[in-house]
Amino acid sequence: MLRLVFSGFLAATASAQVLFTTNDLPSQPGYYNCSYCSTNIDVTALLALSTNIDTNAPPPPEGNAPTLQAWKLSYPQQSYEFVLRVDIVAATNGGDNEYFPSATYAEQDTVEPTNVIGWQYYGFTNAGRLCYGLDARAPHASTQAVFIPPSVDIPATIQLGQTWNRSSYWFTTYAEIILVSNYFSDSAVVDAYGTVNLPQLGSVSAVRVHETHSYALSEIWGDSVVPIDLHTNEYYYWLVPGLGVAAQLLVLGDNVLSPGGLPYTNSFSRMYFANYFNNSPTQVVPMSTNLGLQILGSSILLNWQPFTNSTHYRVDYVESLPSTNWEPLGYTSGNSWTDLISSAQRFYRVVGSP
């Protein structure tokens, strides 16, 4: 069974370039979002860009940028996933906030329903978002990690191909007597862009950032410094304009000085709700004058009138309505699309971009 819906967006939801700014980060107290989270998942397909390439995507105007990606993360909550809620709170309402007097807001992490596990403290400069440190509950250890110096974790503007670096250190006291210095350095690159399909939030434009985190931990005994841990983590996150960090993957590396195995090898989260984000169309184009359908054997042909100010189009579908989990079929610079007839009903929409 075939059913049709048709809508056009004035905003660019699948443009050839995605620009993210720190204005897109949630920072107002009262904002919150929720994500499905898990550990020890198979991340092979998620990281291998070749498996996510949208072969119907138009080439970017630069001519040498990576192909548009299509990350499909809209599957329902799995039995092994828990819910993490992130609330934006005033910095003065976070745990051990007296250690972060310059922060302007904090992200409070809660494993639903009520297990608050920590806070991250932030502010903004002309260079981007400034991270002052974090406060996390850990057994037999001081909870606050005050970054020296505070570092810009997300630059003011981010786009494909951009790179940056940062480094900080902080001290932790274990069992009230063991002082440990923690040195952290990070190398980041925006390595991919395209669309990410999120549960309930639908299909949105995104850039992916890949960061390499290097850690060096040492015990300090008077004038003696004893290295105890060297490890490297790989961190990937997807930035969506207006939404923030929509998905993130942390791949953990073992201690090379004393390998002992890890309780889990990776953690992954994908956002499904944000009370500050609306992914609804900005303009609906009448179906009766803009969309046609023709059955051609085992295929159907969609065609539409060109949109004003649009040179590329994304064709999406869902199998039931109402729904926000539209799946992208592909991209075209023309005003038609051919799809194989499915045994299940399909609802279609076409989204324009510059």
> What CATH code is carried by the domain that includes residue 333?
2.60.40.10
d(Cα 235, Cα 233) in Å, to the nearest integer?
6
Q: What is the pLDDT of residue 113?
A: 86
How many other CB atoms are found less than 10 A from the CB of residue 352? Answer: 25
The answer to whether residue 348 is domain-embedded is yes
pLDDT tens across 255-307, in order?
A: 999 988 888 899 999 999 999 998 764 333 333 346 677 777 778 888 887 77
Among the listed ranges 82-91, 147-156, 253-262, which one has the minimum average pLDDT value? 253-262
Tell whether 103 and 25 lie within a shared domain.
yes
**Global confidence as pTM:** 0.75
Q: Please indicate whether residue 70 or residue 181 has the higher confidence score (pLDDT).
A: 181
Once rounded to an integer, what is the mean pLDDT over residues 229-245? 96
SS3 state of residue 26: coil
Please give the residue range of the domain that contains residue 160.
20-274
Tell whether 119 and 48 lie within a shared domain.
yes
Last residue of a domain, one of 215, 248, 274: 274
Tell whether 309 and 253 lie within a shared domain.
no
The answer to whether residue 5 is domain-embedded is no
Buried-state track 256-292, b at ≥16 Cβ within 10 A, e below 16:
eeeeeeeeeebbbbbbbbbeebebeeeeebeeeebbe
Q: What is the pLDDT of residue 280?
A: 60
The answer to whether residue 157 is domain-embedded is yes
Q: What percent of the chain has pLDDT over 70?
A: 82
Tell whether 182 and 293 lie within a shared domain.
no
DSSP state string for 44-113: HHHH-GGGTB-TTPPPPTTSSSPPPEEEE--PPPPTT-EEEEEEEEEGGGSTTGGG-TT--EEEEEEETT
Domains held by the chain: number: 2
The answer to whether residue 121 is domain-embedded is yes
Kindly report the average pLDDT of the chain as a whole number.
84
Among the listed ranges 9-23, 115-129, 132-146, 277-291, which one has the minimum average pLDDT value? 277-291
Last residue of a domain, one of 274, 295, 329: 274
The answer to whether residue 10 is domain-embedded is no
Tell whether 200 and 53 lie within a shared domain.
yes
